[in-house]
Structure 1
Amino acid sequence: MAQHPKSQTGSIRIIGGQWRGRKLPVLAGEGLRPTTDRVKETLFNWLQGRVANRRCLDLFAGSGSLTFEALSHQADYVVALERFAKAASQLKANQQRLNVPQSKLNVQCVDTLKFLLQKPEQGFDLIFMDPPFRKQMIAPCCDLLIQHGWLNTGAWVYIESEQELDELVVPWQLHRQKSAGQVISRLYQVE
């Protein structure tokens, strides 16, 4: 989700669903920005009724804040991509802590752009894209999602970006947008 995290720990809180209120340990490090409770609550209010029984892809999983929130809201299956081995290991440890089977959560320690170059066996209904700030990764990710068939018809794409990136050019319909602190959250629907 950003630079190589250090070995200190912090925590994230699951705000809704079956694990509401549970805290999970996460690595704390430079550049690792777990989605805040306030932003997460807004997003999952926007997605109300659109998470359960859906296939989700978390492109920059980092702390797993969005991954575990989606699973708590009954997502059918989540693929969580995280480039840094220590952060990916922490995601797997939290998967075990919550007793989430491999059939529901697939954590992969991989570079997101390289991963998206392949063609998926099956598309996804909900994409979480919260890349490292100021790395110009949103446009290439969007292009690869489209080119390689990662999106199911009617899919939802959530993009969290830095405040100064005030205009995104994506081929999807903007459903909702909100600014909070240094972050802009946008939810798009694939037509």
Structure 2
Amino acid sequence: MKAASGRIRIIGGHLRNSRLNVPDLPGLRPTPERVRETLFNWLAPTIAGVQALDLCAGTGALGIEALSRGAETVQFVEPDASAADALRDNLSRLKAHGGEVASVDAVRFLQRTPQRFGLVFLDPPFALQLWAPLTRTLEEGGWLAAAAQIYVESPRGQAPAVPANWALHREGHAGEVRYALYRRIGSDPLS
């Protein structure tokens, strides 16, 4: 699902009403404005200063929205070269400081030395069924801060299995998409 004009809008923060150029790529599903608005209302008390990971970035709308609203840094991960280039161009054009793009798939990215993130956006291409390996690696690989929040998009009616210490905080549905925000609780496996 792509905006007809090939552009989507940032809805809040200092980049509010800025437009992101969206490449015409098969399977690219920018998170709709209504869902982003709901998500960032949920995140409002905790977004300032957070280090975030947009693991299956696509357009980067979630991560750029986070930068616009006060996230300190966002690591974008996008394997498609055209999408990664468009993301870099959008970050540069908007002077959205704190964003870095890695042109690699999410599984390979998580094989690197971990860095702790307080917020993770996990919206993989639905057809690839990546939720189980990515959530497991995020949790077991040391990628999450002790009280991290993890946003997950999946097909409606299909709540992916997540680690036992991820407590569902809020969820909703939009069209054929389920979106949910989890909060990590309990002990840190690397402590």
TM above 0.5: yes
Question: Structure 2 matches for 1:46-85, cutoff 5 A?
Answer: 46-85=42-81
**Is residue 165 from structure 1 mapped to residue 188 from structure 2 by the alignment?**
no
Give 1:100 deviation, angstroms: 2.6
Give 1:48 deviation, angstroms: 1.2
Question: In structure 1, what is the Cα distance between the partners aligned to 2:71 and 2:31?
Answer: 18
Question: In structure 1, what is the Cα distance between the partners aligned to 2:91 and 2:79?
Answer: 17
CA contact (8 A) 2:149 2:182 kept: yes
Secondary structure at the aligned position of 2:126 is classed as coil
Question: In structure 1, what is the Cα distance between the partners aligned to 2:96 and 2:35?
Answer: 24
Identity %: 45
Give 1:98 deviation, angstroms: 1.0
Give 1:59 deviation, angstroms: 0.5
Give 1:169 deviation, angstroms: 3.8
CA contact (8 A) 1:26 1:90 kept: yes
Distance 1:97 1:165, change over 3 A: same
**Match for residue 26 of structure 2 among 19, 27, 30:** 30
Question: In structure 1, what is the Cα distance between the partners aligned to 2:66 and 2:50?
Answer: 9
Question: Structure 2 matches for 1:1-191, cutoff 5 A?
Answer: 10-101=6-97, 104-120=98-114, 122-166=115-159, 168-171=161-164, 172-191=166-185
Q: Which amino acid aligns with 1:17?
A: G
Aligned-pair RMSD on alpha carbons?
A: 1.4
Give 1:167 deviation, angstroms: 5.1
Distance 1:144 1:90, change over 3 A: same
Question: In structure 2, what is the Cα distance between the partners aligned to 1:167 and 1:148?
Answer: 19
Could you state the TM-score of these two structures normalised by the residue count of structure 2? 0.90
Could you state the TM-score of these two structures normalised by the residue count of structure 1? 0.90
Gaps of 5+ in 2: 186-191
Gaps of 5+ in 1: 1-7
Count of aligned positions = 181
Give 1:29 deviation, angstroms: 2.1
Q: Which amino acid aligns with 1:41?
A: E
Aligned to 2:188: none
Deviations 1:9-34 (A, max 9, x none): 71110000111111111112220000
